Amino acid sequence: MHSILVTGGAGFIGSNFVRFMLKKYPSYRIIVLDALTYAGNRENLSDLEKDSRLTFYHGNICDRTVVDNLVSHVDAIINFAAETHVDRSIHEADSFVQTDVLGTLILLEAARKYKIERYLQISTDEVYGSIEQGAFTEEHPLAPNSPYSASKAGGDLMVRAHYKTFGTPTLVTRASNNYGPFQYPEKLIPFFVTNAIDDIPLPLYGDGMNIRDWLYVDDHCEGVDHVLHHGVIGETYNIGGGNERTNIDITQIILKTLNKPDTLIKRVADRPGHDRRYAVDTGKIEKLGWKPRFRFEDAVEETIQWYVKNESWWRKIKEKQKAYQEFLKKNYEDRK
């Protein structure tokens, strides 16, 4: 395998993955296909601009002509492209279905047509729904609760159907909540870090006791690389950090690290359909030889400091999303 199409490579995890792969495999070539939606950002790849092994293509995974043309030049596809934010999916779900379901199908059809060696779908633990105790294995039925996770589940099922019906060589990974550099500042950690830096309130949903399993983005990238090279075709692999924290814990870590007062926490109305807890059993990928390497305490500290040092990166983004934040604020108030 020498050339890979990475869709959504200008987003948070995709850009970290491209950097990770080019460093690890000097002979690989990567084509990034990214629509540069509000979440896509060429700056996320700016340090790699002069690397001749990377080609950036501005286009949509729903565009068959573009997809066919690019897929005809590669050995593998990794699909990171998606609409990804739960709160946005509650207000507008069309683009989620379009990209996360239809876009996935279009990529799968091209993978089949051009006899791609491996198609890897980047999915999420959210497709299993919420779990009070224990952890979901890959065998658990899908029970998504938000329009985002329902769209991702739709994509996963399309992947399954393609493998079963056409023998398309597919793999699926389902990761838990990622954190790290270049995450769009609407997701919990970068949103709260950047608000705290500016002494703006941190809107904590509900009782703040919802639990997420936090995975450092480089550990996720290593897991994806591992499944790409060693995964069994047709199989699904969970990827988790083994780091369960309540939202209030995360909030307090952020405030303490930045030396900011707890009074910045603003309790707001809960997110509708808010999943209480996510947890995945990672035994299957561990048997394949992967486990997370980063200690949460170190990686979260490093991540917070990255946002402190890279203010110019997030300030431009936050300036552009002011109207959206105002809209959300009004929404919590209306829900009360």
Please report, as ranges, the residues that interact with ligand TYD according to CB under 6 A.
Answer: 86, 177, 187-188, 191, 203-205, 210, 212, 247, 271
Q: Which two tokens stand for residue 262?
A: 């707890």
Q: Does residue number 221 form part of the binding site for ligand NAD (CB under 6 A)?
A: no
Output the DSSP codes for 264-288. Answer: GEEEEPPPTT---B--B--HHHHHT
Known active-site residue 311: no
Q: Which two tokens stand for residue 105?
A: 């199908």
Pick from 5, 8, 236, 292 the residue near ligand NAD by CB under 6 A.
8
Which pairing describes strands 236-239 and 202-205: parallel, antiparallel, or unpaired?
unpaired
Q: Which of 128, 148, 216, 307 is catalytic?
A: 148
Q: Does residue number 175 form part of the binding site for ligand NAD (CB under 6 A)?
A: yes
Residue 204: which of ligand TYD, ligand NAD, none does it interact with, CB under 5 to 8 A by kind? ligand TYD
177 versus 243: smaller Cβ distance to ligand TYD: 177
* CB of residue 274 to ligand NAD, shortest distance in Å: 16
Known active-site residue 163: no
Q: Are 209 and 64 in contact (CB under 8 A)?
A: no
Q: Which residues contact 321 (CB under 8 A, 6 or more apart)?
A: 38, 185, 186
Sort residue 273 into left (φ over 0), alpha (ψ -120 to 50) or beta: left
Residues in contact with ligand NAD, counted by CB under 6 A, come to a total of 31
15 versus 177: smaller Cβ distance to ligand TYD: 177
244-246: strand order across its sheet: 177-179, 211-216, 244-246
CA end-to-end distance (rounded Å), the chain: 53
Output the DSSP codes for 185-212. Answer: TTSHHHHHHHHHHTT--EEEETTS--EE
Q: Which of 83, 109, 126, 186 is catalytic?
A: 126
Q: Which two tokens stand for residue 206?
A: 């509900």
By beta carbon distance, the residue nearest ligand NAD is: 11
Known active-site residue 49: no
Q: Does residue number 84 form part of the binding site for ligand NAD (CB under 6 A)?
A: yes
Residue 36: which of ligand TYD, ligand NAD, none does it interact with, CB under 5 to 8 A by kind? ligand NAD
Cite the active site residues: 125-126, 148
Q: What residue ranges bind ligand NAD (CB under 6 A)?
A: 7-8, 10-14, 33-37, 39-40, 60-62, 80-84, 99, 103, 122, 124, 152, 175, 177-178, 184
